[in-house]
């Protein structure tokens, strides 16, 4: 299996007046292509901090991070922005869709930054919306969609660029159990198609969908177990 993420002795510390918060504390970790990983832990255990570093939204205080064999710490801001856009698809708990844009335009947005022509953007965005079962909601705005449908639009937006990793931070946190299970079915399908997924959750039932569960505590890895 080829290695997608390689993290060595990575830390993220915050200095608050006299106290240092070790949000991520000396973590080493490898994740291969096509893995489906759940990152678990109680609130404040460092899940989002680690996720944001993996997604190149944040930088570590110490240690190294290689994504696709590239040393992320050595990249310029422009190159980081490019990696974020091309290699990482984000899904957030609060969907983070642009309210004035319809589903199609929200999904097509990353393709503008990636330099696609308009016809291609529309074609690819429609294809991504079809994959999440929303072909009949293409022209709806976020407030004309249910919570589960909004999250499906966000997943389509994360997928549209065909990124190396999908990072989802508590993607079912704002959804009821039926919508949560629909969303988890979509992640399963995306994984079966060959995508790498890292999913943050504090719910055991949600984490069971993954093939590997990493538990964090106080910024450190407590356990790291693969499904048999």
By beta-carbon proximity to Mg ion, the closer residue of 45 and 149 is 45
Closest CA to 200 of 163, 155, 166, 168: 168
Question: Binding marks (x or -) toward ligand ADP, 135..174, rule CB under 6 A?
Answer: ----------------------------------------
Beta-sheet strand order (sheet of 70-71): 19-32, 3-16, 62-67, 70-71
Check residue 48 for interaction with Mg ion (CB under 5 A): yes
Instruction: By CB under 6 A, name the one of 33, 44, 57, 188 that touches ligand ADP.
Output: 44
Instruction: By CB under 6 A, name the one of 7, 47, 155, 196 that touches ligand ADP.
Output: 47
- By a kind-dependent CB cut-off of 5 to 8 A, residue 15 interacts, out of ligand ADP, Mg ion, none, with none
Check residue 48 for interaction with ligand ADP (CB under 6 A): yes
- Provide the pairing of β-strand 220-226 with 212-217: antiparallel
- By a kind-dependent CB cut-off of 5 to 8 A, residue 44 interacts, out of Mg ion, ligand ADP, none, with ligand ADP
Smallest gap from residue 189 Cβ to ligand ADP (A) = 26
By beta-carbon proximity to ligand ADP, the closer residue of 85 and 93 is 93
Check residue 45 for interaction with ligand ADP (CB under 6 A): yes
Site of interaction with ligand ADP (CB under 6 A): 14, 16, 21, 23, 41, 43-49
């Amino acid at each position: 299996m080829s290695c997608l993420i390689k993290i060595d002795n990575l830390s993220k510390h915050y200095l608050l007046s006299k106290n240092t918060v070790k949000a991520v504390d000396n973590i080493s970790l490898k994740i291969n292509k096509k893995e489906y990983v759940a990152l678990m832990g109680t609130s404040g255990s460092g899940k989002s901090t680690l996720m944001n570093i993996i997604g190149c939204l944040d930088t570590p205080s110490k240690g190294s991070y290689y994504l696709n064999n590239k040393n992320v710490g050595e990249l310029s801001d422009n190159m980081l922005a490019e990696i974020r856009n091309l290699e990482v698809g984000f899904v957030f708990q609060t969907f983070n869709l642009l309210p004035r844009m319809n589903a199609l335009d929200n999904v097509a947005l990353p393709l503008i930054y990636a330099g696609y022509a308009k016809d291609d953007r529309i074609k690819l965005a429609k294809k991504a919306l079809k994959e999440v079962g929303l072909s009949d909601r293409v022209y709806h705005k976020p407030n004309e969609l249910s919570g589960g449908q909004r999250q499906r639009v966000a997943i389509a937006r994360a997928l549209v660029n065909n990124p190396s990793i999908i990072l989802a931070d508590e993607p079912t946190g704002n959804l009821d159990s039926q919508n949560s299970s629909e969303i988890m079915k979509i992640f399963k399908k995306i994984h079966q198609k060959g995508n790498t997924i890292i999913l943050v959750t504090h719910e055991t039932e949600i984490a069971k969908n993954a093939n590997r569960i990493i538990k964090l505590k106080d910024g450190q890895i407590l356990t790291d177990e693969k499904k048999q």
